[in-house]
Structure 1
Amino acid sequence: MLSTTYVPGAPNWLDLGVPDVDAAASFYGGVFGWTFQSAGPEGGGYGFFQLDGKSVAAAGPLTEEGASPSWTVYFSTPDADGVAKAVEAAGGTVRVPPGDVFTAGRMAAFTDPAGARFAVWQPGGVQGLETVMQPNALCWTELYATDAGAAKDFYRQVFSWQYQDMPTGDGGPPYTVVAPAGSADVGEAGHGGIMQLQQENLDAGSGAEWHPYFGVEDCDATYAAATERGATTLFPPMDVPGVGRMAMVKDPFGATFALIKGDPTMG
């Protein structure tokens, strides 16, 4: 599971790129109770979503040419430059080369061979998010893959991730749980998943993408709060046996995120 004791390859930061940061702060404040703290004049509009005074995510204006509103998942690394080389060697693209963010750390952003965007954070003064695995905070990350096998190969080369395939129960492709290198129990250490997009999704134009899951106390109530504030539904609240109750939406700007209330029977 996610933890704020960050190890290489595990998610350690999450931010939202949007055309209107103030509007995003208002939306997510209404949905999750987050407050927004600006990074200051030197931050270029970037700032931090906080819950009880602790950072749970961040947001900033779109800065890349042709970028669309989206959530970006960052993975921890002690060597952002080394990851950049590994990404290129594995067939990915370096969109933002490694660079220092003041004294906070070093970041770089990439695109995998199928088009999914992700980033890395090499901690300096900022280790990562201050709260995860709590209500209204990040609890899972997920890759929608156009070719799950190729995605697993790519990320194994880049991060040395370990995988465990789980049957989905509908006879479709397995769901792959992802854990950092060296994990004794992939299921217990899992911080995300890789889901093969179904043919009908591909035919409808769905592409490879990373998106976050936020834990909630009441999936239906939080889903209602999101849709009442302009979010559009990708799938409404539904029960997934052994997992919990979940929903997925696009925020009013077009960024995808999911909600989940865990299944208490899982222990």
Structure 2
Amino acid sequence: MITTDFVAGSPCWLDLGAPDVKAAAEFYRSVFGWEYQPMSPDSDDYGAFRLNGKTVAGLGKLTEEGARPAWMIYFCVPDADAATETVRQSGGMVRVPPMDAGGEGRMAQFTDPQGGQFAVWQPGSTKGVDAVDDTGTLSWTELYTTDMAGAKEFYGNLFGWRTQDVDLPGGGGTYALITPAGQPDERMHGGMMQLPAEHLELTGGKPYWHPVFGSADCDATVEKVQAGGGRVQMGPEDAPDVGRLAVCVDPAGADFVVLTPAPGQQG
């Protein structure tokens, strides 16, 4: 489960890069009930999604040339500069070098050797999001990669993650569960799965991370996604011992998963 004590290597923040901030804010309000609050009253280029008064994610204007609309997942690190050096030494690419975020923390964005994009956050006054592992909040993180062995090695070097392989039902391959270094199995926060490039249509064959958001009713949430102009890539369908889930894409093309956990699975 994801918690808000944000140990090293655990997901602590996520934000959406969107070409139209107002349109994205309206879509996610209609789906999850999130309210968008700009950081500055003079600009809506970046702000926070809030649910029941708690920050659950960020939203910003997509500015990187050639970038696709997507969710970016940030993992907690004690030292963003040291993490950057490890990324370089491990064959990754530094997309955004370490930079201060107004005393709230220090961040950097990377691309892993296989092509998956992610970020790190060194906490300052802001430790991370306020709410997780509940309806309408981040409950899991997932990497689709073309080289699971390579991804395990890279992220193991960077974060010290412990992985545990489980067989997917129906001969669907292997899924690697991710747990932060030194933490018990109850602190699993994500997984990775190997897929051929032709199955990664959203990114033209490149690996990518996406968030999983909790839902009290997956099917009802999927209806809201479609009513808001989004689409469903897969599902809704039942995953044994996991819950009912659907892979969705927002109107701009950013993907996310909606999950209603099986009884006893939500923290």
What TM bracket, shorter-length normalisation? Answer: over 0.9
- Deviation sequence 1:204-229 (CA, Å, 0-9, x none): 95430000000000000000100111
Which structure 2 residues correspond to residues 31-50 of structure 1 after superposition, within 5 A? 31-40=31-40, 45-50=45-50
Q: Give the match for residue 109 of structure 1.
A: 109
Unaligned runs of 5+ residues in structure 1 are: none
Q: Give the match for residue 89 of structure 1.
A: 89
Aligned-residue RMSD, C-alpha:
1.7
- Bigger drift between 199-208 and 30-39 goes to 199-208
Q: Give the match for residue 157 of structure 2.
A: 157
Give the C-alpha shift of residue 249 in structure 1: 1.0
SS at match of 2:29: helix
Which structure 2 residues correspond to residues 14-25 of structure 1 after superposition, within 5 A? 14-25=14-25
Which residue identity is paired with 2:64?
E
Give the C-alpha shift of residue 266 in structure 1: 4.9
For the 8 Å contact 2:38–2:44, the answer to whether it is kept is no
2: CA distance, partners of 1:207 / 1:256: 14
Q: Tell me if 1:230 matches 2:232.
A: no
Q: Give the match for residue 126 of structure 2.
A: 126
Structure 1 vs Structure 2: percent identity of aligned residues? 49
- Deviation sequence 1:174-221 (CA, Å, 0-9, x none): 1000011112x33x1100000111476269954300000000000000
Give the C-alpha shift of residue 136 in structure 1: 0.5
Q: Tell me if 1:73 matches 2:73.
A: yes
- Deviation sequence 1:156-185 (CA, Å, 0-9, x none): 0111110111111222321000011112x3
For the 8 Å contact 2:200–2:207, the answer to whether it is kept is no
Which residue identity is paired with 1:104?
E
Q: Give the match for residue 216 of structure 1.
A: 215
Q: Give the match for residue 52 of structure 2.
A: 52
For the 8 Å contact 2:146–2:197, the answer to whether it is kept is no
- Deviation sequence 1:94-132 (CA, Å, 0-9, x none): 000000000110000000011110000111010000000
Which residue identity is paired with 1:76?
C
1: CA distance, partners of 2:265 / 2:44: 43
1: CA distance, partners of 2:232 / 2:38: 29
Give the C-alpha shift of residue 63 in structure 1: 2.1
2: CA distance, partners of 1:206 / 1:197: 9
Residues 40 and 265 of structure 1: CA distance in aligned 2, closer, same or farther (over 3 Å): closer
Residues 202 and 17 of structure 1: CA distance in aligned 2, closer, same or farther (over 3 Å): closer
* TM-score, normalised with respect to structure 1: 0.95
Which structure 2 residues correspond to residues 193-212 of structure 1 after superposition, within 5 A? 193-198=191-196, 201=199, 205-212=204-211
2: CA distance, partners of 1:198 / 1:174: 13
1: CA distance, partners of 2:95 / 2:43: 20
2: CA distance, partners of 1:133 / 1:229: 24
Give the C-alpha shift of residue 26 in structure 1: 0.3
SS at match of 2:86: helix
SS at match of 2:170: coil
Residues 8 and 63 of structure 1: CA distance in aligned 2, closer, same or farther (over 3 Å): same
For the 8 Å contact 1:83–1:158, the answer to whether it is kept is yes
Matched positions, count:
265
For the 8 Å contact 1:167–1:174, the answer to whether it is kept is yes
SS at match of 1:45: strand
For the 8 Å contact 2:164–2:176, the answer to whether it is kept is yes
Residues 107 and 200 of structure 1: CA distance in aligned 2, closer, same or farther (over 3 Å): closer
Residues 132 and 254 of structure 1: CA distance in aligned 2, closer, same or farther (over 3 Å): same
Residues 23 and 155 of structure 1: CA distance in aligned 2, closer, same or farther (over 3 Å): same
1: CA distance, partners of 2:111 / 2:82: 16
* TM-score, normalised with respect to structure 2: 0.95
For the 8 Å contact 1:242–1:265, the answer to whether it is kept is no
For the 8 Å contact 1:25–1:35, the answer to whether it is kept is yes
